[in-house]
Structure 1
Amino acid sequence: MRALHTSDWHIGRTFHGADLLAEQEAVLAHLADLVVDEAIDVVFVAGDVYDRAVPSAEAVRVATSALGRLREAGAELVLTAGNHDSAPRLGAFGRFAAAGGLHLRTTVDALAEPVLLNDRHGTIACYGIPYLEPEPARHALGVPDARGHTGVLTEAMRRVREDLANRPDGTRSVVLAHAFVTGGAGSDSERTIAVGGVEEVPGAVFDGVDYVALGHLHGPQVLAEHLRYSGSPLAYSFSEARQRKSVWLVEFDEKGLAGVERRELPVPRRLATLTGRLQNLLDTPEFSAFEDSYLSVTLTDRVRPVDAMRRLRERFAHAVHLDWQPEGGDTSAALRYAEAVRGRSDSEIAAAFLADCRGAEPNERERKLLQRALEMAAREDE
């Protein structure tokens, strides 16, 4: 049997305000092409199908289209819920969907009820563990003394192993789980799932199964041969700009896991960062290669440029983030109000504020305007 491991689609997410639905639809359509080209039997989606618990109508349309294409390409589908999903909404009509090859595992009650898939070697039991919020999950699992993510996932895996032990000898196993496993490296685009300051779960919690398809972290990672994150199909923060987004092609033989290969995904629009003075960025021909990229720009002009983002977008239409770090300026020191105003007159404080905001001292005319404004304010107070 050949499987595709993916996760963290986050359909409906925006990137610094930019709509990503078109890019998401294009990448997910490529997964259907992989199903055909690689003769994939089943696709595992390990949580965070949507970016919000209540997705927009357009996000639902994109998800429905993607799942439909994967099914039409010939693959069974096994999905579980992530911390961004609403598990009840995602799992609605699950029993009916299973008849069409879409198997939803979104409830605590069903985590030890595997999807049973068959090949010429026998049966593969696929268990879906949705994201388990520790406090409600420990009561739903009947383990009120369980602590944190490790406690509830330990109980979930105990149930999985118990069910697996009652299956015929030779039954192979897969677990889908949405969690932060120790050894994984996060990025800026994941929502924290820390409870009491602890969000990591030891990899040993998942011992005893042939393959663990993990979701939550957005970079593709190998924690052990059988324990992997596929990562998200698109970059959702500039910290992911250097990641090569991909999925795992997982193959099973009669003994269990036979091998795993990586398949890189297309990049609809790449991410890049630029640093320099505004006019230089606008005029230099070598920056033409970034005109179609999502850009994070750091300006180094000594004086903060006026209307910088609008001017940047005249050349770089997809500039989405702007910072200003003037050359020679000290932007690392924390400004403490009490220290900044001690021993200064109102006019001196106002002038210092203006200089701090734009990186240049006010000229004589501006100082007179500030002084006049302060005098008017004082008369109004009187």
Structure 2
Amino acid sequence: MRILHTSDWHLGRSFHGVGLIEAQAAFVDHLVDTVVAERVDLVLVAGDVFDRALPPVDAVELAGEALARLASTGVRTVVTSGNHDSPVRLGANARLADAAGVHLRTRWQEVGTPVLVEDRHGVVAVHGLPYLEPDAVRQPWRLPARTHEAALAAAMARVGADGERRGGRTVVMAHAFVAGSPEAASTMACDSERDISVGGLQIAPTSLFTGVSYAALGHLHGARALTDTVRYSGSPLAYSFSEEGHIKGSWLVELGAARVEECTFVPAPVPRRPLRLRGRLDDLLHDPAHAAHEGCWLAVTLTDPVRPTAAMERLRARFPHVLALYFDPEGAPVSRGPVAPHVTGRSDLDVALGFVEEVRSLEATTEEELLLQLACDSCRLGEDRDADGGFDVPSPREAAG
């Protein structure tokens, strides 16, 4: 049986304000093409189909189109809900979808009841475990602790009981933070993943999947093989700059008569590479080594001792896709945290000018001081305006003219 393992589509998500629906649609095209070209028998989507519980209309339409196109190829598809999904919304019309070979598994009450898929070696039991919030299953499953490990262990006990009755090969899908150890877990997460910790605990051990033919994991956005048979596919697109080194894609798994015989990573198309750059503004603008980065999505940290003026505009003249700008001046003292400003006895203008000098280590220009004075005067006039409207406040241009 040829299995394509994917997860964490996050349809409807943006990247620092840039919409990704077209890039996500390109991934769906790639996914369907891979299913056809590689003669895939089973597609596994291990949670976080959508980015939020109430996704935008274009995301819902793209998800429906993706599942319909997969069904039209004749492939069986099993989809589980992740911590970003609404189990009720994603699982709507699950019984109707079953008839089309698309199996939506979003209810914890159905854990232990597999989707059965046949190949020439017999039946494969596919257990789609939705994201299991410990508080939701603690009472009905009588969990010994309020942790993700306890919830996933209880689910795997139900999977194991079905395997003892049925025998044969078992594939499990789970949306959780799984790691071999706490030390390994500290290197696995990235900024775009939502914290799922409960009581400070979110990690479940890899050992829970011992004896399973293959475990298709979702939640972490980096592709990773925890063992030969326990893997994260990662997200198909980068959703934060912390993913700049990731290679995105899906796992193509060859499941033989008794075990996994081969796993091959299938890279996904890259709409635009995310990258973090650091340096002085003039160096970034003129160094020819950065020519290859001009088409990337960029998060830039400027290290100039004095904050440059119009930095974003100047950067975008060379790098049109700068999305985030930070300042870390060379030689600046290490911050000791927030300090309460001294405002007693100071005018509004003096406080505003002090703020400008504090954040950019440079005094305001004469023009900037005039604009700040006009802004302060406008606020004060607004407070003094009588109930009938009183008088008009001149615009900054009128006052300056």
Normalised by the length of structure 2, the TM-score is: 0.85
1:48 aligned residue: 48
Structure 1 residues 8 and 367: CA distance shift in structure 2, 3 A: closer
Quote the Cα distance in structure 2 between the aligned partners of 1:333 and 1:311: 31
- The equivalent position to 1:312 in structure 2, one of 312, 315, 327, is 315
Quote the Cα distance in structure 2 between the aligned partners of 1:207 and 1:44: 20
Q: Secondary structure at the match of 1:109?
A: helix
User: Are residues 1:179 and 2:179 paired?
Assistant: no
In the TM superposition, what is the alpha-carbon distance from 1:73 to its structure 2 partner?
3.2
CA contact (8 A) 2:216 2:231 kept: yes
CA contact (8 A) 2:143 2:154 kept: no
The two structures, once aligned, show a CA RMSD in angstroms of: 3.0
Structure 1 residues 37 and 372: CA distance shift in structure 2, 3 A: closer
Quote the Cα distance in structure 2 between the aligned partners of 1:57 and 1:308: 36
2:237 aligned residue: 234
1:27 aligned residue: 27
CA contact (8 A) 1:27 1:268 kept: no
| AA at the equivalent of 1:247 | S
Quote the Cα distance in structure 2 between the aligned partners of 1:257 and 1:180: 23
Residues 254-265 of structure 1 aligned to structure 2 (within 5 Å): 254-265=257-268
- The equivalent position to 2:284 in structure 1, one of 281, 286, 311, is 281
| AA at the equivalent of 2:356 | L
CA displacement 1:265-323 (0-9 Å, x = unmatched): 22111111222333443455543432321111112333323443344334333211111
2:11 aligned residue: 11
Quote the Cα distance in structure 1 between the aligned partners of 2:44 and 2:59: 20
2:164 aligned residue: 165
2:388 aligned residue: none
2:100 aligned residue: 100
- The equivalent position to 2:199 in structure 1, one of 196, 199, 204, is 196
User: Are residues 1:130 and 2:133 paired?
Assistant: no
Quote the Cα distance in structure 1 between the aligned partners of 2:375 and 2:64: 59
Structure 1 residues 344 and 299: CA distance shift in structure 2, 3 A: farther
2:61 aligned residue: 61
Residues 364-375 of structure 1 aligned to structure 2 (within 5 Å): none
In the TM superposition, what is the alpha-carbon distance from 1:137 to its structure 2 partner?
1.6
In the TM superposition, what is the alpha-carbon distance from 1:28 to its structure 2 partner?
2.2
Instruction: List runs of 5+ in structure 2 lacking aligned partners.
Output: 384-401
| AA at the equivalent of 2:362 | A
1:218 aligned residue: 221
Quote the Cα distance in structure 1 between the aligned partners of 2:109 and 2:12: 28
User: Are residues 1:119 and 2:122 paired?
Assistant: no
Quote the Cα distance in structure 2 between the aligned partners of 1:91 and 1:254: 31
Quote the Cα distance in structure 2 between the aligned partners of 1:134 and 1:7: 21
Structure 1 residues 205 and 280: CA distance shift in structure 2, 3 A: same
- The equivalent position to 1:296 in structure 2, one of 296, 299, 303, is 299
CA contact (8 A) 2:48 2:82 kept: yes
User: Are residues 1:322 and 2:319 paired?
Assistant: no
Quote the Cα distance in structure 1 between the aligned partners of 2:109 and 2:70: 27
Q: Which moved more, 1:35-44 or 1:355-364?
A: 355-364
Quote the Cα distance in structure 1 between the aligned partners of 2:8 and 2:334: 35
Structure 1 residues 328 and 98: CA distance shift in structure 2, 3 A: same
Instruction: List runs of 5+ in structure 1 lacking aligned partners.
Output: none
